[in-house]
Structure 1
């Protein structure tokens, strides 16, 4: 079991128990099978980004509350120590730099989309907004029937109440910084 699997499993179990939910109830809320939830909680499965979003939406918590460790007053993040959560045959990688905290109402990620990556992100609950900055390369974001093309240095903000898609059509890796705000 990797460290990230243990963190995810412990967080899912802790939040589920705080909400007094059974695995069956969380399965009904999230659309993730009871068996998969059990495997995740036990650290026996490495869930995809989409599966984690389904669980987060079912629990009505932030994505990073599932993948982040509890923090202290000062948090220093060393990029080479952050394990990514991957999906789409590892063409999509997301690194949690600053997990959600109730007092701040946001979380910050680094996203990497390798050439040919097309990642569909689940909708978020409760009027959540995404702020995306293209740090390297170029990508497109499809949201609300609109496709927005971003080049290095461009940024976009949108409400993430419906599924949205990130795509890298270029031959170079696209790197983005993502802030998710929970009003």
Structure 2
């Protein structure tokens, strides 16, 4: 099983050094405490989705930048070998399938929401588009003031620079693919 905490920490440290930023400056840019950033860099913390988005937005990098590893010609990802990023007391699990690649400019996740789980995502930077493809269950997407009910096989695309919410509206697990495309 990949140790994403170690990979996330190594990549956070790398981007911080590339940008010549102190932990104090990163804390100011991201709204994440210096102590938490230090724990993440050491691989001692399992950051939440919300925390990683704050850091990514503040440092102007992709969400999955923190999960990047060296690229290979063929990459086979098995669900059992991915340690999920957990949010909402375990009710939301994000499985990074293909982290961001600057040549391709997208990243792909499998996300699972337990019944009743609702995850509010803050607006992302301009130039980010999300694609959602429902694999299992039913869910509701709230994008700005608009609501969209989605079930197995349904898909939606939207600009992610406004608040959006993923919500499981069923009594069973909802699972969906989330493709994030960075066109700017």
| TM-score computed with the length of structure 2 as normaliser | 0.95
* CA deviation vs aligned residue, 1:107-135 (integer Å, no higher than 9, x gap): 00101011010111122113200000011
Residue 103 of structure 1 and its aligned partner are, at CA, apart by 0.3
1:7 positional shift: 1.0
SS at match of 2:101: coil
d(CA) in 2 for partners of 1:121, 1:26: 21
Deviation at 1:83, TM superposition (A): 1.0
* Partner residue in 2 for 1:48: 48
The answer for unaligned runs of 5 or more in structure 2 is: none
- Cα distance, 1:35 vs structure 2: 1.1
Which residue of structure 1 lines up, in the alignment, with residue 10 of structure 2? 10
CA RMSD, 1 decimal:
1.1
Report the TM-score, using the length of structure 1 for normalisation. 0.96
| Structure 1 counterpart SS, 2:21 | coil
Secondary structure of the equivalent of 1:99? strand
Higher strand share: 2
Structure 1: which 4+ aligned runs deviate by more than 4 Å?
Answer: none
Unaligned 5+ segments in structure 1 are: none
What CA deviation, in whole Å up to 9, does each residue of 1:140-182 have, x standing for no partner? 0111211111011110000000221111121110010111000
Listed as ranges, the matches of 1:1-183 within 5 Å are 3-183=3-183
